[in-house]
Amino acid sequence: MEDMLLYDRLQFAFTITFHYIFPQLTMGLSMLIVYFKWRYLRNNDERYNTTATFLMKIFAINFTMGVVTGIPMEFQFGTNWAKFSELTGGIIGQTLAMEGMFSFFLESSFLALFIYGEKLMGQKLHFLTGLLVFLGSWASGWFILATNAWMQHPVGYEILDNGKYVLTHFGALFKNPWLIPAFLHNQMASLVTSSFVVASIGAFYVLQEKHVNYGKLMLKTGVVFGAISSLLIIFPTGDWNAKNVVKHQPASFAAMEGIFHTEDAGAEIVLIGQPNMLEKKLDNKIAVPNVLSFLTYQNWDTQIVGMDQFKKEELPTNVPALYYAYHIMVGLGTVFIGIMLLAVFFLWRKKLFTLKPLLWTIMFLVPFPYIANLTGWYVAELGRQPYLVYGLLKTADGISPTVSSGNTLFTLLGFVGLYLLLGILFLLLVGKVVFQGPESQKH
């Protein structure tokens, strides 16, 4: 049994991590493409249009990767988490089916039109197809977040005598207090990734002195969007989410922040330290007193409940992993704000394009928003443990009852091999598009 749960979790974690590399870029990138296209309609500067088409090429590669790695996600609910599917399908099946119906079809149909149809339909319609691709990809995020919000904070359901959960209030799925903060936080994080990618390509062109006009345009747009979205992920969206966790999952909050002991006179905020689970304390800790209480309750002295107040079975199963995921996310988020504000400052002083150290930094920053996005999701998912549906269904009780660990390990290894190949090919393709540059679009 233990092995089965481990392999099922590893397989899901691995496949969803790999999958989420792609949608996190496409959601934000579609917004930037719409922005470039809109600017082109306003100022008729061909550079904006070419950049939009160029970015759509990168979008398309990511979209394809998102589709092929997304189909296994949907199937795995049934293959590896059959008990969970059986119990909750009547509820979260609604939001998942709506994703297919309202966003996936929209996105894929209009993506094809955007790519093949520019000459056929004129610029205004072409802008409109871009806008629909953007709407489709954000709607997709909305329905997935609605599904996840129900697992984090179940609402609008009833449990029957036979143990099955049934939906009693459809509207509640979308009025879930967990949903809007999580959705906005997630979308802003996605915008961070895509702005950083655009800025990084821009920095590469400027430093390499190739396609410099486009490079400057992408760099400028990337850092402005990057600075705004970096600020928005911390405040207000990150703040809202933290308050939701304190309210609805207090044990996860204590574990995330590394608070082992309840402090009556205000809790400190931990900057660095390693959780020592044997002695129930943080080793090598650096912390600022009372700040956590202030951030959480706007009062320096409010008590924050520590892990000592919860029974072991209520605490997240892997405290150190959760703690690190959270601290990596927050730490990187803080660094992003610093770098992007600096970049915007030099852009305003008209020095950004010649400031090589900063350009190099921006160019190499590109993996980190991906790491921040993924660790953010780890916080949500590890924080929900030991539950699959918070308070209702334990993760261990959600797995497929008839699939043996040998079969799951076999498929896990298969996925690792296949996705390794896929990852290499993906880098090759995106690399090729970037090296060819925006002007190769013109026929």
Tokens representing residue 115 in the block: 């790519």
Which residue carries 């089965």 as its tokens? 4
* Residue 6 or 121 with smaller CB distance to other proteins: 121
Number of residues this chain uses to bind other proteins (CB under 8 A): 70
Site for other proteins in 99-118 (CB under 8 A): 99-102, 104-106, 108-110, 112-113, 115-117
Three-class secondary structure of residue 300 per DSSP: coil
* Residue 137 or 400 with smaller CB distance to other proteins: 400
* Residue 106 or 223 with smaller CB distance to other proteins: 106
Cβ neighbours of 163 (radius 10 Å): 9
Assess contact for 192 and 126: CB atoms under 8 A: no
Question: What x-and-dash track marks residues 155-174 binding other proteins by CB under 8 A?
Answer: -----------xxx-x----
Pairwise CA distance, residues 50 & 29, whole Å: 15
Using rule CB under 8 A, residue 139 touches other proteins = no
Beta bridge partners of 272: 286
H or E element: which one contains 80?
Answer: none
Q: Please choose, from the candidates 291, 287, 288, 293, the residue with its C-alpha nearest in 3D space to the C-alpha of residue 274.
A: 287
Site for other proteins in 384-403 (CB under 8 A): 400-403
What is the 3-state composition of the chain as percent helix, strand, coil, each rounded to the nearest 5? 75, 5, 20
Stretch that binds other proteins, among 246-254, 273-281, 288-296, 406-414 (CB under 8 A): 406-414
* Residue 93 or 177 with smaller CB distance to other proteins: 93
Cβ neighbours of 18 (radius 10 Å): 22
Stretch that binds other proteins, among 37-45, 85-93, 226-234, 291-299 (CB under 8 A): 85-93
- Closest approach of other proteins to the CB of residue 49, in Å: 16
Assess contact for 61 and 26: CB atoms under 8 A: no
Question: What x-and-dash track marks residues 40-59 binding other proteins by CB under 8 A?
Answer: -----------------x--
Using rule CB under 8 A, residue 16 touches other proteins = no
Stretch that binds other proteins, among 83-91, 221-229, 250-258, 289-297 (CB under 8 A): 83-91
